[in-house]
Amino acid sequence: MTDQAQTAPAAKKLFIKTYGCQMNVYDSQRMAEAMGAEGYVLTEDQAQADMVLLNTCHIREKAAEKLYSDLGRLRSLKVAKPDMKIGVAGCVAQAEGAEITRRMPQVDLVVGPQSYHRLPAMARGEGPSIDTDFPAEDKFDHLPERMATRRAPAAFLTVQEGCDKFCAFCVVPYTRGAEVSRPVDRILSEARNLVARGVRELTLLGQNVNGWHGVGPDGREWGFGRLIRAIAEIDGLDRIRYTTSHPNDMADDLIAAHGDVPQLMPYLHLPVQSGSDRILKAMNRKHTAEQYLRLIDRIRAARPDILMTSDFIVGFPGETDQDHAATLRLVEQVGFGTAFSFKYSPRPGTTAYDRPEVEAAVADARLHELQALLGRQQQAVQQDMVGRTLGVLFEKPGRETGQMIGKSDYLHPVFVDAPQAQPGDLVQVRIVESRSNSLRGELLT
Ligand code: 5AD
Ligand code: SF4
């Protein structure tokens, strides 16, 4: 060790816990980069941290409750280490603001998802300790360039944020704000930068990602399909995915891109929430079950092997047994690769909040039934992969010696015995076994 290293002040340590969706994962990376410029390095050990940042989720009541139980546990750590700063970021910060510091005085900073570029200044003690503005400036213009915080071959890239759809159950339009599309040049430069650092797969993120639009370098108005085509031209980028989409924003050009952009992976998460027209209307989804089914026909006509996934809410206020049966029917008709299903959780501020709730036991039984059906479909789809040869992008070593874990084209985790391989290798693998939530494959030599 050199003298300099011995006398240099130890870097401050930052521990980040991320709850919720992939955009929070992305935001946590950007916050880590911003704090990195302030001399903070990431630690995995909360007890060692000079700052603990909780990047929160407000989508369902349980998600928000987790924050308060974690903050309760952090109280004793702060007593032992009074200089440690505690920050709350993300959607609970946005929704609850000063209520958080009122309930939990040990919290030093509260920062919403649109103002986290101000986090470094807040941490220095400059400016307010609570910032839940929707500032006029674009946070991305005030954040450091993407850095390789982790050398991972797959990365997220936010292209759009916020939502104007106002589904009756959803807090996102309030916590993330109105729909904003990032400009084409910024997206392309961030994408090129990531690819130059070894990224081979990009997942484009947005609460309503397929509602993205912007003006291209040709001066024309671009839709999301056109953006994907431009990103696909980046040399060295092998795979493109995107999430999350609204059925009403699946434009013709985007559907066509699934047929003619080879880098666009055959996987689409397209939440439908319910199969009952009555409930879809009450949810303000602005489409029918039939329209969703016809849309999937068109997507499958463009890309026949596409694996469809979705989100469902059971027990939405007013949901009857017939409505639930209609949801099961829709699931049978589509055949999903996997899907997320949730029991309705009333969220303050949303239009459905005050509506009479379905009895908890009934909602539980419906959730159970739906999940059983979705589970059977998932197993059938995975079983169908056995014997097929698929592309797999290795992401990290597995637990067993010589094993690698990667994702297939269809986003299934695949375990492969590949002692010579490195993360970032994109290989051809023959699937030999389906396990509960993953596949096992053999390297084709
Ligand atoms: N209750 C239950 N599930 C919800 N979701 C969003 N809001 C609620 C709520 N209040 C689900 C939807 C959405 C997914 C991200 O979370 O299915 O698509
Ligand atoms: Fe929430 Fe999605 Fe509906 Fe927007 S479209 S309100 S994010 S469920």
Say what the pLDDT of residue 136 is: 78
CATH 3.80.30.20 domain locations along the chain = 147-385
The DSSP output letter for 248 is G
Ligand nearest to the CA of 206: 2
Q: What is the DSSP string of 131-190?
A: E----SS-GGGGSPPP--SS--SEEEEE-EE--S---TT--HHHHT-S-EEPPHHHHHHH
- The per-residue pLDDT for range 151-178, each reduced to its tens digit, is 689 999 999 999 999 999 999 999 999 9
Higher pLDDT, 409 or 135: 409
Residue 138's pLDDT is what?
A: 85
Report CA(166)–ligand 2 centroid distance (Å).
6
Q: Residue 306 is which amino acid?
A: I
Q: What does the pLDDT look like over 200-212, one tens digit per residue?
A: 999 999 999 999 9
Tokens standing for residue 38 = 């302030």
Name the DSSP letter for residue 159: -
Q: Say yes or no to pLDDT of 334 above 80.
A: yes
> Mean pLDDT score of the chain, rounded to an integer?
94
Percent of the chain past pLDDT 90, that is, above it, reads 89
Q: Which of 22, 172, 286, 347 to mutate to test the pocket of ligand 2 (most atoms within 8 A of CB)?
A: 172
- pLDDT category at 144 given cuts 50, 70, 90 is confident
Atom of ligand 2 minimally distant from the CA of 164: 4
What amino acid is encoded at 360 in this protein?
A: A
Cβ contact 42:18 at 8 Å: no
Q: Which two tokens stand for residue 274?
A: 């319910």
How far from 301 is each of 247, 305, 306, CA to CA, in Å?
16, 9, 10
62: β partners: none
| Residue range 320-340: mean pLDDT, rounded | 98
Nearest-angstrom CA–CA distance, 322 and 328: 10
Ligand 1 site residues (CB inside 6 A) read: 59-60, 169-170, 271, 273, 311, 313, 342, 344-345, 347
Model confidence at 148: pLDDT above 70: no
Tokens of 306: 């596409």
| Confidence category of residue 1, pLDDT binned at 50, 70, 90 | very low
> Could you tell me the fold of the domain covering 147-385?
pyruvate-formate lyase- activating enzyme (3.80.30)
The CA distance from 391 to 402, in Å, is 19
Q: Mean per-residue pLDDT for 141-153?
A: 75
Please state, in angstroms and rounded to a whole number, the distance separating the CA atoms of residues 168 and 274. Answer: 13
Question: Which of 175, 205, 208 best tests ligand 2's pocket when mutated (most atoms within 8 Å of CB)?
Answer: 208
Amino acid, res. 277: D
Task: Please compute the mean of the pLDDT values over residues 119-129 and round it to a whole number.
Answer: 89
pLDDT given at position 220? 97
Distance separating alpha carbons of residues 31 and 381, to the nearest angstrom: 38
**One-letter amino acid for residue 95 of the chain:** A
Tell me, what's the pLDDT at 150?
54
Over residues 280-305, mean pLDDT: 98
What is the Å distance from ligand 1's center to 172 Cα? Answer: 9
CB of 167 shorter than 6 A to ligand 2: yes
Q: Average of pLDDT values for 239-249?
A: 98
Residues 163 and 348 sit within 8 Å (Cβ to Cβ): no
Ligand 2 center to residue 360 CA distance, Å? 24
What is residue 152's predicted lDDT score, i.e. its pLDDT?
87
Query: Is the distance from CB of 97 to CB of 133 less than 8 angstroms?
Result: no
Q: What are phi and psi of 314, to 5 degrees?
A: -105, 155
Determine the Cα–Cα distance for residues 400 and 181; give it in Å rounded to an integer.
43
In which residue ranges of the chain is CATH 3.40.50.12160 found? 12-131
| Residue 128 binned pLDDT confidence (cut-offs 50, 70, 90) | confident
Measured CA to CA in angstroms, residue 98 lies from 20, 103, 107, 350 at distances of 21, 9, 10, 20
Q: 389-443: what fold?
A: OB fold (Dihydrolipoamide Acetyltransferase, E2P) (2.40.50)
| 93 pLDDT more than 90 | yes
**37/428: higher pLDDT:** 428
At 9 the pLDDT is 63
Ligand nearest to the CA of residue 169, numbered in listed order: 1
pTM over 0.75: yes
pLDDT tens column, 40-83: 999 999 999 999 999 999 999 988 889 999 999 999 999 999 99
* pLDDT of 324 over the 90 cut: yes
Domain limits, CATH 2.40.50.140, in the chain: 389-443
Angle between helices 224-232 and 252-260 (to 10 degrees): 30
Q: Does position 2 have pLDDT exceeding 50, yes or no?
A: no
pLDDT of 3 reads 44
CA distance 165 to 244: 13
User: Is the pLDDT assigned to residue 335 strictly greater than 60?
Assistant: yes
172-197 confidence digits (pLDDT tens)? 999 999 999 999 999 999 999 999 99
String of b and e for 36-67 (b: at least 16 CB within 10 Å)? beeebebbeebeebbbbbbbbbbbbeebbebb
- Please report the pLDDT score of residue 142 as a whole number: 87
Q: Looking at residue 171, what is its pLDDT?
A: 96
Give the residue from 318, 317, 207, 339 showing the smallest Cα distance to 328.
339
Range 12-131 classified under CATH 3.40.50.12160? yes
Determine contact, residues 182/197, Cβ cutoff 8 Å: no
